[in-house]
Amino acid sequence: MVTNNKEIKAFHGSGVAIQSFDYQFTDQGNDQLGSGFYFTTAEHEARGYCLDRLNGKPKLGGCNDPTLHHVVLNIKNPITPGTQRLFTRAEVMDIIKSSPVLEEQIESNWGEIAFEGLTKLTMEAVDSYDYGEPTDVIRFLNSISKDFYPSHPQAFFELIHRITGHDGVHAQFKNKDAFVNHEHYVAWFPSQINIIHRHSLVDELCEIVVAEDPEIVDGMPLFHGGEQSDIDSIINDGLDIDKSSIGYFGKGFYCATDAQLAISNYANFADNPAAVAMRLKSGVRILDLRKEDDFKIYQENGIEKLAHREDLPVLMKSLKIDGIYDRSFGGLVIYNANAVQVIGALKLQPRQHSRKNNI
């Protein structure tokens, strides 16, 4: 149990910067510890949640500005996994009859009220949850909330807090994967969460100083500017090389290693300018034309002569080449969408009205 005077420092990762936590975004994921607002004491775990998607679906609330939130939690009396408690029949009846959607849920799970009556069916529901002995609290609450409080977590938490005194969940994990001795907290009420700092992963990438003649390294920042609709598609649906146009180095996704270069050379020529931040994944093969051996591979395979072909990305894949770097345009051409990880949208300054050139 967390003592009353313990300050709980934790992290929460999301696809956007959260101003305040809202119940509409609960009950949407793999909530093993029940409904609520999830936090971890492992920063690198929270960073993963900034970008991870559930079953490939777009992140709740958007994914254009993945943000790591530093928080202080005020959870006084959490449940811990494995906690047993006897819920009396009176308590079970209180929980079920207080449901804001009682009749709807009775009809869905226990029978037709018109034929059997609400009172009879409600008592049958109470019977099914009146175990008469201690039971796992988290499992009990998960089950009864799904049956009687779907889409009404606040009402459920307020009632359970009144009945049990609990105000969240606390779980400890030891020697699990890379997260050694980390902890998870589930807050039940937005008022328990104090956001201390918001750290944008996009801003973090933009702050990395890349040399004018950079080494091609894992995780290096990459930027691409273009039309707002195209950038939105990349952020929400992922990179699609087939939608790329043919440039000097053929059909591919052209990226700059400098954010301002991506904005000035690409985004500012769009009607609705936007730009996306990415990073190079580990283990990818980038042909660096500054290097003699790589330039030799480029020449011997006649890649320059293949630049006009629509199937160039397929040909490059057969050569196990994910992209090309050339100093001439200060960036990379990506032929394999899996070579980069999309992070989020750059925050562009409002475009200034351009002055007409003097003739």
C-alpha 199/C-alpha 160 separation (Å) is 34
Rounded mean pLDDT of the chain?
89
Paired with 182 in beta bridges are 173
User: Which range has the worst mean pLDDT, 35-39, 50-54, 152-156, 249-253?
Assistant: 50-54
Burial of 250 (0-12, 13-18, 19+ CB in 10 A): buried
pLDDT computed for residue 325 by the predictor: 96
pLDDT computed for residue 54 by the predictor: 67
Q: Which residues, other chains included, contact 314 with Cβ-Cβ below 8 Å and sequence gap of 6+?
A: none
Whether 203 contacts 221, CB under 8 Å: no
89 φ, ψ (degrees, to nearest 5): -60, -40
C-alpha 336/C-alpha 89 separation (Å) is 60
What pLDDT band is residue 157 in, cutting at 50, 70 and 90?
Answer: very high
Tell me the per-residue pLDDT of 230-287, one tens digit each, with 9 for 90 and over: 999 999 989 999 999 899 999 999 999 988 888 887 667 778 889 999 999 999 999 9
What pLDDT band is residue 352 in, cutting at 50, 70 and 90?
Answer: very low
Joined tokens for residue 51: 């970008």
Q: In which residue ranges of the chain is CATH 3.90.228.10 found?
A: 208-346
Joined tokens for residue 61: 């609330």
pLDDT at position 299 over 50: yes
Question: In the predicted model, what is the mean pLDDT of residues 116-131?
Answer: 96
pTM over 0.75: yes
pLDDT at position 177 over 80: no
pLDDT computed for residue 329 by the predictor: 78
User: Which range has the worst mean pLDDT, 58-67, 202-211, 213-222, 333-342?
Assistant: 58-67
Q: What is the CATH topology of the domain spanning 208-346?
A: Phosphoenolpyruvate Carboxykinase; domain 3 (3.90.228)
User: Which range has the worst mean pLDDT, 85-89, 213-217, 301-305?
Assistant: 213-217
Higher pLDDT, 127 or 181: 127
DSSP assignments along 153-217, one per residue: HHHHHHHHHHHH---EEEEEE-SBTTBTTEEEEEESSGGGEEEEEEEEHHHHHHTS---SS----
